[in-house]
Amino acid sequence: MNNYNSKFGQFGGQYVPEILMSAVGELEDAYGKYRNDPTFNAELTDLYNNYAGRPSLLYYASNMTKDLGGAKIYFKREDLNHTGSHKINNVLGQALLAKKMGKKRLIAETGAGQHGVATATAAALFGLECEIFMGEVDTERQALNVYRMRLLGAKVNAVTSGTRTLKDAVNETMREWTRRVQDTHYLIGSAMGPHPFPTMVRDFQSVISREAKQQILEAEGKLPKAVIACIGGGSNAIGAFYHFIGDKGVELIGAEAAGKGIDTPHHAATIAHGRPGIFHGMKSIFCQDEDGQIAPCHSISAGLDYPGIGPEHAELHTQKRANYVGITDDEAVGAFEYLSRTEGIIPAIESAHAVAYAIKSAKKYKGGSIIVNISGRGDKDVASIARYKGENINE
Amino acid sequence: MNNKKFVSFITAGDPSLDKTKEFIEVLSEYSDFVEVGIPFSDPIAEGDVIEAANARALAGGTTTEKVFDMLKTVKLSPAKSCKLVILTYINPVFAYGYDKFGKRCKECGVHGLVIPDLPFEERAEVEGHLNKYGVHLITLLAPTSAERIKKLASVASGGFVYLVSSMGTTGVRTKFDSDLAKTVAQIKKSTKIPVCVGFGISTPEQAQNIRKIADGVIVGSAIVKIIAEHGNNSSAYIKEYIQTLVN
């Protein structure tokens, strides 16, 4: 397998308090041992296929293709996975590893709640204790997922510090890890944090592009012109990109949350507005002020509402191997509705950011195909989209 | 209190930088080191009390530059030949520029720097820039350091070795790591720099007990809490409280 360094170019590293370094080191050793272990990988594949429902479909969106009159549009249907998003790929990998490391308890941050639900699910499956940290704002906009996590046996803590969103949920989970590290694994939900998390999460999510590459070659006999994925921390995007990185003819496009507009203060467009910095265990790119204070961000999507991106994306951006584009709340909501009506697929509002870019750019790729990663299903977003449209419905 | 060290901590800009200067001068009468926190938006090693102080300081417009400007005007008491130390997170230092940060530390008489989220593995990128100006990057150790102790303690160059008392974040607590004395002894095998213990020390009894096993105590949250309560009028209360700890 690929290398196991802590850095992606200048990005990555292990910037965590000394109190956590022994746990981070223990994890680095354990994952270093298991990542190329055939038994571990066979167990994980079995979980993917017989629990999560993989491989996920590569669906040809014929109505949308016809309607837009450009590239042939394919969807990688991560929304069809058990628990309804790509998050389960990473969660099953880390939970299996935690079990092998003898850990008794999983803790995790969550934004939209998809990662929290996936973690609570794996904890139930593996018989582990589970505690989820979620920004108070997000517990309100994703109340159903909070109940879902409780139903699965997890304790959910509403985080009331800072901006009360995903960034603060990460802070609080890190603090909790310092309080109880010995028997606890911090199951980070995105391709971020200190090494080995970005590499490990990338490896677990790369099943998306491994399958997609094979599937598109079967369907089209050639590689796509572009792969498009939404990006918050960047785990579904790095998973969708990974096996195409070496194929220079395939454009890799990350759709970040431009919120109310990239020229307003209300966005979460890290690549467009961020600068290199060091935060949450990694050197990467972050939205911040000139003093290095992390900037509050905004997105209609709780899952993209994060002021940084994973270090491998920072490096792909620096190397100009991937392009990152901004999609506003309005555009994402438009794509959410469009996909529901055109294909009968309700995507997660996060994934709708990628769909919105596909709608904009389909013509550009005429004569070829594009793959859009539908990272999750949109049931969780229905109530908040209704509210966005001025309709007050109860969940 | 014999030759044991006393290290105090306050967050710069809470309630104002003028008041921080006044508090530092008061603390310097009793402290071997005053740690001044440059506030950060997301202080992941801090408990509620210091996190709230960080938020207040930032809301009041505190910036790295303004903290340095204030430090330059501080008149430390000659009583204990007190030294200034800055505590902040890696991102504000990175954003300011490592070299420029080191230079400003020297200009403002700052002896050392504590960066909670910069472990041994990543210190190389910062340390050279600080050493160039004679500023020490202070070594932090924790109850979980175990076999890392020798490697980490042997690079300690000045100031003090900051040993975290127990698991968790900063803030008042009743119990410390049961192996603390053993950890201190292990650290002392690898360095001559004084080993001071911090995180959660607030009562005179706790300070007394820590002094029995280590070279000194670090008190932060308890002082910051007094400032949160008494604001501009905190000096007298700080003085009264510190006297109970050092005597």
**E strands of A232-330, at which residues?**
251-259, 275-279, 281-286, 322-328
Q: Which of A181, A201, A221 is the last residue of a domain?
A: A201
Phi/psi region, residue A306 (left: phi>0; alpha: psi -120 to 50; beta: rest), is beta
CB contact under 8 A, A18 and B95: no
In this structure, are residues B131 and B105 in contact, taking their beta carbons and an 8 Å threshold? no
Closest CA of chain A from B17, distance in Å: 17
Closest CA of chain A from B176, distance in Å: 12
d(CA A358, CA A71): 9
Q: How many domains does chain A have?
A: 2
Among B145, B152, B169, beta carbon nearest to A178: B169
In this structure, are residues B169 and B224 in contact, taking their beta carbons and an 8 Å threshold? no
A230 with A354, same domain: the answer is: yes
* Coil vs helix vs strand at B21: helix
d(CA B191, CA B193): 5
Would you kindly state where each structural domain of chain B is located, as residue ranges?
5-138+205-246
CB contact under 8 A, B40 and A16: no
Residue numbers of chain A with a pLDDT score lower than 50: 1
A232 with A271, same domain: the answer is: yes
A108 with A73, same domain: the answer is: no
**E strands of chain B, at which residues?**
5-11, 33-37, 83-87, 110-114, 136-137, 140-141, 161-164, 195-198, 216-219
d(CA A314, CA A320): 10
Output the DSSP codes for B179-207: THHHHHHHHHHH--S-EEEESS--SHHHH
* Coil vs helix vs strand at B243: helix
CB contact under 8 A, B95 and A288: yes
Residues of A in contact with B42 (CB under 8 A): 162, 167-168, 171, 279, 294
B144 pLDDT above the threshold of 90: yes
A174 with A279, same domain: the answer is: no
- The interaxial angle of helices A197-205 and A87-100, nearest 10 deg, is 120
CB contact under 8 A, B167 and A178: yes
A43 with A80, same domain: the answer is: no
Closest CA of chain B from A267, distance in Å: 18
A87 flagged as catalytic = yes
In this structure, are residues B47 and B169 in contact, taking their beta carbons and an 8 Å threshold? yes
A261 with A171, same domain: the answer is: no
The pLDDT, as a whole number, for residue A394 is: 66
A218 with A280, same domain: the answer is: yes
Catalytic-labelled residue, pool A28, A78, A103, A109: A109
* Coil vs helix vs strand at B106: helix
Residue whose structure tokens are 């990555």: A12
A190 with A259, same domain: the answer is: no
A272 with A169, same domain: the answer is: no
Q: Which residue of B has its CA nearest to A294?
A: B41
Q: How confident is the model at residue B1 (pLDDT cuts 50, 70, 90)?
A: very low
- Give the tens place of pLDDT for each residue, B122-132: 999 999 999 99
Q: What share of chain A is helix, strand, coil (3-state, %, to 5)?
A: 50, 20, 30
Q: Report the half-sphere exposure of A210 (CA within 13 A, side-chain side).
A: 10
Q: Which residue of B has its CA nearest to A13?
A: B122
Q: Which residue of A has its CA nearest to B144?
A: A19
The pLDDT, as a whole number, for residue A2 is: 59
Size of interface A-B (CB pairs under 8 A): 111
CA dihedral angle for residue B48, residue B51, residue B53, residue B57, rounded to 10 degrees: -160
Residue A88 Cα distances to A187, A256, B30, B143, angstroms: 12, 22, 55, 34
Nearest CA to A85 out of A244, A245, A235, A268 is that of A235
Give chain B's end-to-end CA distance (angstroms, integer): 6
What φ, ψ does residue A18 adopt, rounded to 5°? -50, -35
Q: Which tokens sit at B238?
A: 């700080």
A144 with A212, same domain: the answer is: no
Q: Which tokens sit at A330?
A: 């309005």
Element (H, E) at B40: none
Q: Which residue of B has its CA nearest to A284?
A: B91
Q: Which of A175, A201, A227 is the last residue of a domain?
A: A201
The pLDDT, as a whole number, for residue A162 is: 86
Mean pLDDT of chain B: 96
Q: Which of A201, A219, A244 is the last residue of a domain?
A: A201
The pLDDT, as a whole number, for residue B24 is: 98
Element (H, E) at A77: strand A72-77
A193 with A274, same domain: the answer is: no
Catalytic-labelled residue, pool A72, A76, A87, A99: A87
CB contact under 8 A, A19 and B144: yes
Residue type at position B77:
S
The interface residues of chain A toward chain B in range 163-182, judged by CB-CB distance below 8 A, are 167-168, 171, 174-175, 178-181
- The interaxial angle of helices A87-100 and A18-34, nearest 10 deg, is 100
User: If you ran DSSP here, which 8-state letter would residue A262 be given?
Assistant: T
In this structure, are residues A288 and A294 in contact, taking their beta carbons and an 8 Å threshold? yes
Q: Residue A331's domain is classified under what CATH number?
A: 3.40.50.1100
Return the CATH number of B5-138+205-246, one of 3.20.20.70, 1.25.40.10, 3.20.20.140, 3.30.70.1290.
3.20.20.70
Among A18, A161, A277, beta carbon nearest to B51: A161
- The answer as to whether A379 is a domain residue is yes
A320 flagged as catalytic = no
What φ, ψ does residue A83 adopt, rounded to 5°? 75, -5
Which residue, among B11, B41, B98, would best test binding to A if mutated, counting the most A CBs under 10 Å from its CB?
Answer: B41
- The interaxial angle of helices A197-205 and A207-220, nearest 10 deg, is 30
ipTM: 0.96
Which residue, among A291, A294, A297, A306, would best test binding to B if mutated, counting the most B CBs under 10 Å from its CB?
Answer: A291
Nearest CA to A369 out of A70, A57, A56 is that of A70
Output the DSSP codes for A167-212: HHHHHHHHHHHHHS-TTEEE---SS-SSTTHHHHHHHHHTHHHHHH
- The interaxial angle of helices A114-126 and A143-151, nearest 10 deg, is 0
- The answer as to whether A117 is a domain residue is yes
Among B63, B92, B141, beta carbon nearest to A18: B141
A109 flagged as catalytic = yes
Which residue, among A18, A157, A177, would best test binding to B if mutated, counting the most B CBs under 10 Å from its CB?
Answer: A18
- The answer as to whether A2 is a domain residue is no
Q: Which tokens sit at B6?
A: 């006393």
Could you tell me which residues come within 8 angstroms of residue A265 by beta carbon, excluding any fewer than 6 positions away? A296, A298
A114 with A259, same domain: the answer is: no
- Give the tens place of pLDDT for each residue, B105-114: 999 999 999 9
**Domain of A362?**
53-84+206-388
Residue whose structure tokens are 């994934």: A351
Residue whose structure tokens are 């510190």: B242
